[in-house]
Structure 1
Amino acid sequence: MMNSVKTYTLFTDHDVYLFKEGGHYKLYGKFGAHSVEKEGVKGVYFSVWAPNAKKVSVIGNFNNWNHKDHILFPRWDGSGIWEGFIEDLTWGTLYKYAVETARGEFLEKSDPYALSWEQNIQAASLVSTTWYEWNDKEWMESRGAKNSLDAPISVYELHLGSWLRDEKDPDRFLNYRDIAKKLIPYIKEMEFTHVEFMPVMEYPYDPSWGYQITGFYAATSRFGSPQDLMFLIDELHQNNIGVILDWVPSHFPGDANGLYRFDGSHLYEHEDPRKGFHPDWKSHIFNYGRNEVKSFLISNAMFWLDRYHADGLRVDAVTSMLHLDYSRNEGEWEPNIYGENVNLEAKAFLQEFNTAVYKQFGNSIMTIAEESSDFPMLTKPVHDGGVGFGMKWMMGWMHDTLDYFKEDFANRKFQHHKLTFASMYMYNENYMMPLSHDEVVHGKASLIYKMKGDEWQKFANLRTLYVYMYTHPGAKLLFMGDEFGQTSEWNFTQSLDWHLLKYPVHKGLQDLVKELNHLYRTEPALYENQFDKNGFEWIEADDLENSVYVYLRKGKKRDDILMTVLNLAPKVIDYKIKVSTGTHWEVIFNSDHKEYSGSGVEADLLEEKDDHGTEHEKFITIKLPPLAGVILRQKKDKKYKLHRIKHRR
């Protein structure tokens, strides 16, 4: 049968040169399926990279999946690109690439650059579009200030498939547009500044939560079309809420229709299994040293920032990328040329990725590394030898904090340093403080059940932990459900237990998080210097016997100062604190207040007293409620009226 494919190209010689050099960052405008017009006839242009293939054809529901009818043309330049134009195809056409390998195998592969995929295990690609009429111009023009390191960044992490299900049919996912109607009022009420979506790229296996991606350029069709996801992001932006997407350049699954052995060779994955196979996840690791793969991945990052208006990318599993020996025993990995365990190709890739996206979008966006080791200079500029991320998850703080709050009250004095140790390194990087989904699955228990004590003590502990988190330097991240004390571990197959909010302890915890978000957004002392050593000062770090901590947070103005006092013992204490002479203080927040289902012990300032001894000093004495966090503000003048922030119903 005569080949029904016509010659056509979207590639210039310069495009091909950049692609082969690893410097083409907009490949989504070239590869894939694009609706075009050739000599007055409308159809679809297809292009795919398969340099080791003997033949590539387009199969689909338009030709009964016959690999003989629509054979693409290999480019003459040795780039490995196959391309061609097929008449009369339109949006919604199902297709794959039939790849004949050098060995004579026939592989059926979905399009690596497809914008939509079917929702099944051997999913085909769909001819689709990312055209959308955006209405978030105001946000996009001003978002640099809201995504700045000098701005409050309080992130609500959520999994779209289990935040909320259809009330009439709990087995049915909500559409992106349905989610928008429910999510946006909630985020506004709770006063989070950003949401972070666990991967929205297409993935075949629900239990992977989206971290085993097959369609890197496709919004998962579980929740609707590309335009439906754009609507959700657009609506969030119009309501002054930023959007961070989880991005997974670390690995991909071995599904038959995916990237693995795409043209019969190790095309996207590293050929050496010591570098190309992930032993934990049984997945395949990208070959970061291959230029065309770098172009694919950096173009993918650009795609989500460009076409979907994402405000940031949280890069998953960076530790596994940077360490050749990650989850490998001796003899299962090979050192680099310096005899060390750093994956130099992965490091160079991440440096190039950060350089490229910040050059394109400036500081209007953010990149965030999920990195659990002490890899140096992760958030330092590339030109200074750093990796170039905007922020890094503060995993050490998270582990130390949770370990402390699990501890018996009588033993906390022996673990006192766990809450002070972070101050030894908290300005080494730009940190985001994560209480993420990883901490409430796989038998780890929900946050509320990690806390020590009876029910009242558990909630008191968690309220105080949140006070500590929100008044500690760094951006904040809280996983869905943790804001109201979800009692069961996160289950990706069902909705959160929203019914718990009918119980006062859960509603009180939610109200507390709401108030802390409000404080964080409105008190410059909590965000202006959150990545600057001038923003923090210990007043009392060594009171092991009382399990009390006292520290200051400072804004850029000299008199923007807050004091946090944590009482992590289950008893009331009248506590004396040394302060600067001439200062006056007021209590503005108390986690033990009855509005938060606390015991109602008022954190009263009992005394402000000057000591006119050999050194002129000043002390205040405050009543500290049990297992509570108290925040005080330095008054800006003596006429400033003492008050406590009232919870807004």
Structure 2
Amino acid sequence: MNEKILEIDPFLKPYVSDIRLRNKNYVDTKKRLLTKEKKLSNFANGHHYFGFHKQKDGWVYREWAPNAKKIALIGDFNQWNRTSHFLQSIGDGVWEIKLTKKDKLVHGSKVRIEITTEKDTFERIPTYCKRVVQKKETVDFDGEVWAPETAFVWTDQDFKRNQDEPVLIYESHVGMAGIKEGISTFQDYIEIVLPRVKKLGYNTIQLMAIAEHPYYGSFGYQVSNFFAVSSKFGTPEELKLLIDTAHQMGISVLLDIVHSHAATNVVEGLAEFDGTEIQYFYSGKRGTHPEWGSKLFNYGKTEVIHFLLSNVKYWLEEYHFDGFRFDAVTSMLYHHHGLGVAFDNYDKYFSTNTDTEAVTYLQLAAEIAKEVDPDCILIAEDMSGMPGMCLPIEIGGIGFDYRLGMGVPDFWIKTLKNMSDYDWNLGSIWYELTQRRPQEKVVGYCESHDQALVGDKTIMFRLADQEMYWKMDVFSQSDIIDRAIALHKMIRLITCTCAGEGYLNFMGNEFGHPEWIDFPNPDNDWSYSKARRRWDLAEDTNLRYRFLQSFDHAMIQLVKENNLLATPSQLLFHHEDHKLLAYQKGAYVFVYNFHPVAQHTVTLQIEKASTAEVVLHSDWQRFGGYLNAENPETIVITNNKLTIPINRRAVAVYKIS
């Protein structure tokens, strides 16, 4: 390993000791883990050893529970008999039982284990269960042995992500995929959402809430069973079909993976699995998140690293995921979990602030993922901007490909919430959208699921508010709606083209989905009315949502076909009083007029070009404007000067040649 990161980011030089400690911890931990194996991918095979595995003459089941004194396998196969099927201790806290065909354990059998310690006896669901199902008569769950006689047949052997294309991510929640009031399924997503993603032009979907989580309203972020596909949405085979279908359509699939914390559930979760709080998690105060109340993994413990790295490998291997968005990385990186901390200087990233064991785990997770699939995509949800998060491990980085540009949506919220249109500072907008750590890639976005949740507002809802209920039809006149539609298009285009080397959109936000997401809970009488997607609104020709959807489609096609996210942005012009901003990306010039009332004419200095032709305009009729796009005007560039008029609250994109 070397320290090239110090050359890439000279501001890190005063922290050379921290970078060296990062490198040393990684090397030492990897050496400790690989006592018998040469590669992490050989080490991270917990899913091939633990759990239920079919043998020629029956089954073998293994579990790690070091505090147990006795373990019994119980289930419908033995009428929940607590004395007929005891596991045997085989050392190092590992327990095992072998069953023959006479034991009548089969695919689909409901199972639990009963653990006896020196102090207590209790039931748990096996940690490596591939399927966990809720009992119809109670809120309790059972594990389910999952090994179908006929294995799923993959047809995606020829699928390979185009490495030259930017990631254009359609963030998705399967349960919200349908219009119906209820929980949608993997099959619903295949039929309803995948064709939309393909038509809109996004090349990647990011699936949330896939690992089993008891509380639906947690959005999947309170995971209980890390190897189980949520039975709320369907079977493991149906998830495989979803991914296989996406691959056939040329769409990559990312998993929103949660290794930052775990649910506190004890029967169906990892909390106190063997009767102790320290089996998987830190003890005491350090083991509980101060804001979420969830359990925090002990990233320095070999068995925990083995469990989590095996989980990374499992999702890539078993389900053909193309990468991960790692949730709540900021919470992992720091002992204070980023709560109430402004990361305004480099001191905040290092020294006693940093959870160095978590940093090392993230490096190992990145390495194992790349070993299993060198082309996989790794995205860190890190709002702190930890230096080196998206630089290679061998030069002092943490090894991810992208970080989420989490400051951008916060910036837009503050701008829309606190400032009049006349007071918008375009210099600040440009700075917020274009600042990056050197050589580290970002996935830009103006809103994700976070901004769509009840208690917050999407951009469209924040702009239009209650007018969305009454004035979104094409027959009504509303200055509020006109402003909302215009700014929605402009904000999304400038964010998409400036805020990162990738782009993310939450499902439905492309057409300004009304209201917020509110999962069923006692306060709404367990209603699903706001935990779904109203796709019908975007298809109704009498409503204006379709204009926003059409613009989003055109925007995605423009950036994808011309690889614009990989093209640097060059600021050409900006005028605060007139609210004008122009920049160039390769052969494309983007001109914005954010002024609420005034049309302006802009003259730009353009080198080595003779003509400019408008290829996208937010005021075209198909986007809800009044301009006809049938015969786009070609403008002559004279003496390297391009002079163009631009309407109020509009953006025009020109191709120069």
TM-score in terms of structure 2 length: 0.83
Q: Partner amino acid for 1:357?
A: A
Q: 2:260 aligns with which of 250, 254, 270?
A: 250
Task: Choose 345-354 or 113-122, whichever is displaced more.
Answer: 113-122
Query: Which residue does the alignment assign to 2:157?
Result: 137
| Residue 86 (str. 1) matches residue 99 (str. 2) | yes
> Judging changes above 3 Å, is the alpha-carbon distance between structure 1 residues 458 and 392 closer, same or farther for their aligned structure 2 residues?
same
- The equivalent of 2:250 in structure 1 is 240
Deviation at 1:600, TM superposition (A): 2.9
Q: Does 1:490 align with 2:512?
A: no
- Aligned Cα root-mean-square deviation (Å): 2.6
Change (3 A) 1:261 1:375: same
1: distance between equivalents of 2:41 and 2:316?
19
**Conserved 8 A contact 1:378-1:388:** yes
Match of 2:422 among 407, 410, 414: 410
Deviations 1:25-63 (CA, angstroms, capped at 9, x unpaired): 1211111011212xxxx3221100011211111111122
Shift of 1:620: 1.1
Which residue number corresponds to residue 614 of structure 2?
Answer: 587
Counterpart residue identity of residue 55, structure 2: V
Deviation at 1:605, TM superposition (A): 6.4
TM-aligned CA distance change 1:44 to 1:396, over 3 Å:
same
Give the drift of 1:565: 1.1
Answer whether contact 2:493 2:555 (CA < 8 A) is retained: yes
Measure, in 2, the Cα distance between the counterparts of 1:318 and 1:608.
Answer: 50
| Aligned equivalent of 1:444 | 456
How far apart are the structure 2 equivalents of 1:604 and 1:308? Answer: 47
Taking the aligned partners of 1:634 and 1:320, their CA distance within structure 2 comes to 45
Q: Mean Cα displacement is larger for which, 22-31 or 55-64? A: 22-31
Structure-2 residue corresponding to 1:350: 362
Match of 1:549 in 2: 581
Q: 1:31-430, aligned counterparts within 5 Å?
A: 31-37=50-56, 42-75=57-90, 78-87=91-100, 88-103=104-119, 105-120=120-135, 121-129=139-147, 131-139=151-159, 142-143=160-161, 146=162, 148=163, 150-166=164-180, 170-171=181-182, 173-257=183-267, 258-326=269-337, 339-362=351-374, 364-406=375-417, 407-413=419-425, 416-425=427-436, 427-430=438-441
Contact 1:606 1:621 in 2 (8 A): no
Deviations 1:83-116 (A, max 9, x none): 011223110111111111232x112111110111
CA shift in 2, pair 1:343/1:455, >3 Å: same
| 1:119-154 Cα deviation digits (max 9, x unpaired) | 254311111037311011111xx22xx2x3x31321
From 637, 642, 646, give the equivalent of 1:624.
Answer: 646
Match of 2:571 in 1: 538
Farther-moved stretch of structure 1 (302-311 vs 87-96):
87-96
Change (3 A) 1:604 1:138: closer
Secondary structure of the 1:111 match is coil
**Residue 156 of structure 1, CA deviation:** 0.7
Instruction: Answer whether contact 1:322 1:347 (CA < 8 A) is retained.
Output: yes
2:19 maps to which residue?
A: none
Partner of 1:124, secondary structure, is strand
State the secondary structure of the residue aligned to 1:622: strand
User: Within 1, Cα distance between the matches of 2:511 and 2:621?
Assistant: 16
Question: What is the deviation of 1:271?
Answer: 3.2
Distance in 1 (CA, whole Å) between partners of 2:236 and 2:61 is 19
Separation in 2 of the partners of 1:339 and 1:192? 41
Alpha-carbon separation, structure 1, partners of 2:622 and 2:326: 38
Q: Deviations over 1:231-276 (max 9, x none)?
A: 1111111111111110000111111211111111234443333321
**Do the aligned partners of residues 16 and 424 (structure 1) sit closer, same or farther apart at CA in structure 2, a change above 3 Å counting?**
closer
Q: Distance in 1 between matches of 2:429 and 2:392?
A: 30
- Percent of paired sites with the same residue: 27
* Secondary structure of 2:357's aligned partner: helix
Paired residues of 1:96 and 1:125 also in contact (CA < 8 A) = yes
Count, aligned residues:
579
Aligned pair in 2 of structure 1 residues 575, 337: CA closer, same or farther (>3 Å)?
closer
| Deviation by residue 1:565-611 (Cα, 9 ceiling, x = unmatched) | 11111232121111115442211100111111124388986964545
Checking the alignment, whether the CA contact within 8 Å between 1:605 and 1:622 is kept in structure 2 is no
Q: Residue 536 of structure 2: which of 480, 491, 499 is its match? A: 499
Give the Å deviation of 1:375: 1.1
Amino acid at match of 2:501: G
Q: Bigger shift: 57-66 or 421-430?
A: 421-430
Q: 1:608 and 1:15 mapped to 2: Cα distance?
A: 65
Pairwise CA distance, 1:215: 1.3
Shift of 1:549: 1.2
Distance 2:405 2:633 in 1: 34
Q: C-alpha distance in 2, partners of 1:269/1:52?
A: 12
| Equivalent residue in structure 2 for 1:458, among 476, 484, 494 | 484
Whole-Å separation in 2 of the counterparts to 1:566 and 1:22? 49
**Partner Cα distance (1:125, 1:200) in 2:** 16
Residues 349 and 386 of structure 2 are in contact (CA less than 8 Å); yes or no, is this contact kept in structure 1? no
Q: Which moved more, 1:284-293 or 1:592-601?
A: 592-601
| Paired residue type of 1:129 | A
561, 570, 574: which one aligns with 2:601:
574
- SS of equivalent to 1:210: coil
> Aligned letter for 1:57?
A
Indicate the SS of the match to 1:161.
helix
- The SS at the match of 2:69 is strand
SS of match in other structure, 1:478: strand
Q: Any conservation in 2 of the 1:230–1:308 contact (CA below 8 Å)?
A: yes
* Equivalent residue number for residue 30 of structure 1: 49
Quote the residue 2:23 is aligned against.
none
**C-alpha contact 1:250 1:321 (8 A) present in aligned 2:** yes
Q: Which residue of 2 aligns with 1:468?
A: 494
Structure 1 residues 211 and 240: alpha-carbon distance in aligned structure 2, compared to 1, 3 A threshold: same
- Measure, in 2, the Cα distance between the counterparts of 1:213 and 1:609: 58
Return the alpha-carbon distance in structure 1 between the equivalents of residues 610 and 349 of structure 2. Answer: 58
Residues in 2 aligned to 1:351 and 1:100: alpha-carbon distance in whole angstroms: 37
SS across alignment from 1:284: coil
Q: Separation in 1 of the partners of 2:142 and 2:428?
A: 54
SS at match of 1:278: coil
For CA contacts below 8 A with separation 6 or more, give which structure has more relative contact order.
Answer: 2
- SS of the counterpart of 2:353? coil
Q: Summarize deviations over 1:166-199 as a string: whole Å, max 9, x none.
A: 4xxx33x333123212222211111111111112
Q: Show the counterpart of 1:480.
A: 507
1:248/1:128 CA distance change after superposition, 3 Å: same
How far did residue 401 of structure 1 move? 3.3
Amino acid at match of 2:560: R
Whole-angstrom distance in 2 between the partners of 1:337 and 1:520: 34
Q: Aligned equivalents of 1:597 and 1:328: distance in 2? A: 42
2:554 paired residue number = 515
Q: What amino acid does structure 2 have at the position aligned with 1:512?
A: F
